[in-house]
Amino acid sequence: MAFLKCRLHLLAFWLFIALLPQFSYAAGLELQEQEIKAGLLYNFIKYTDWPAEKMSGQAITVCIFGSDPFDGRLKPMDGRTVNQHEISLRAIHSIADSKDCHLIYVNGDEKNSWPKLQEFLAGKPVLTISDFDGFAQSGGMIEFGHKDNHINAELNKEALSGASLHVQDRLLKLVTIYSGGR
């Protein structure tokens, strides 16, 4: 009897192995957090309109403020062309370096430097993105967040218009609009 039971277990085990892969199901993508954020960053470059004078040069400069939170996953973006402009990736560590950037991604660890950076950037057409909680509320333009294993984004329209930036409808439909104002 014990022997029979063993055989049954073994049978169940192999059936399990044999059957499982048959149930393939087309589910959604599964990516690492940094991959998703890197992809979204690229899309924000693609669907944001900068004032013409800011786009007079060849390159779009994407700056990371603080250490690289993307684990190197942003690197392949360097040199890509978007809307006829070449992306140039830069790491910056001081506020003064930020003036040439089109987009600044603020590492969440630099939260304490954000107020000074924001003051410096006031009115300048620089798209600001970060993932620390309260970024959009404190005047940041786009804040990445988490919800149920997905990445979402909160967008501060007031901050965008104050910097003469415009995000196209395709993205606006997908993000939450921050409505608190400041």
Partner 1 sequence: MPYQKGISKKDTTALRYSAAFLFSALNLAVMPAAYAADDVDSFALSPEQLFNATVTSVSKTSQKLMDAPAAIYVLTNEEIMRSGATSIPEALRLVPGVQVARVNANSWAISIRGFNSTLDDKLLVLIDGRTVYDPLFSGVYWDIQDTVLEDIDRIEVIRGPGATLWGANAVNGVINIITKKAADTQGNLASTTYGNQDGNVEERYGGKLGDNGYYRVYGKYLERDNEELDTGGNARDAQEESRGGFRADWKGTGDAKDDFTFQGDAYNSGASQYRFQPLFSLPGPHTQLDLEELDAHGGNMLGRWNRTFSEDSKFTLQSYVDYTSRDQLVLRDKRATFDIDAQYEFPQMDRHKIIIGGGYRYSHDNLTGSQFVTFTDIGENTNILSSFIQDKITLDPQWFLTLGSKFEHNDYTGFVAEPNARLQWQIDDSQMAWSSASHAVRTPSRLEEDLHLIQAAGSAGGPPATLLTSLDTIANPGYNGEEVNAYELGYRKQWTPKVSTDIATFYNAYHGLSTYTLATPAIFVIGTDPTRFEEPFAPDGNAWAETYGVETTANWRVLNNLNLSASHSVLVIAMHDITANTLGAQAPEKQSPKYQANLHAAWDITKDVTYDAMFYYNSALTSYLVQSHTRLDMRLGWRVADGVELSLVGQDLLDPSTHEFVSPTDGHVLPVDISRAIYGKVTWRF
Report the interface residues with partner 1, using CB under 8 A.
1-3, 6, 9-10, 12-14, 16-17, 20-21, 23-25, 27-33, 35-36, 38-40, 42-43, 47, 67, 71, 73, 76-77, 80, 109, 111-112, 133-134, 146, 148-153, 170-171, 174
d(Cα 157, Cα 171) in Å, to the nearest integer?
A: 12
In the complex, the smallest distance separating the C-beta of residue 178 from partner 1, rounded to whole angstroms, is: 17
Tell me whether strands 127-130 and 81-82 are parallel, antiparallel or unpaired.
unpaired
51 DSSP 8-state letter: P
In the complex, the smallest distance separating the C-beta of residue 40 from partner 1, rounded to whole angstroms, is: 5
Q: Nearest 5°: phi and psi at 172?
A: -55, -35
Cβ closest to partner 1, residue 14 vs residue 120 = 14
In the complex, the smallest distance separating the C-beta of residue 50 from partner 1, rounded to whole angstroms, is: 18
d(Cα 121, Cα 87) in Å, to the nearest integer?
A: 21
Cβ closest to partner 1, residue 121 vs residue 153 = 153
User: Which single residue is written with the structure tokens 């509320």?
Assistant: 137
Cβ closest to partner 1, residue 32 vs residue 161 = 32
Q: 140, 130 in Cβ contact below 8 A?
A: yes
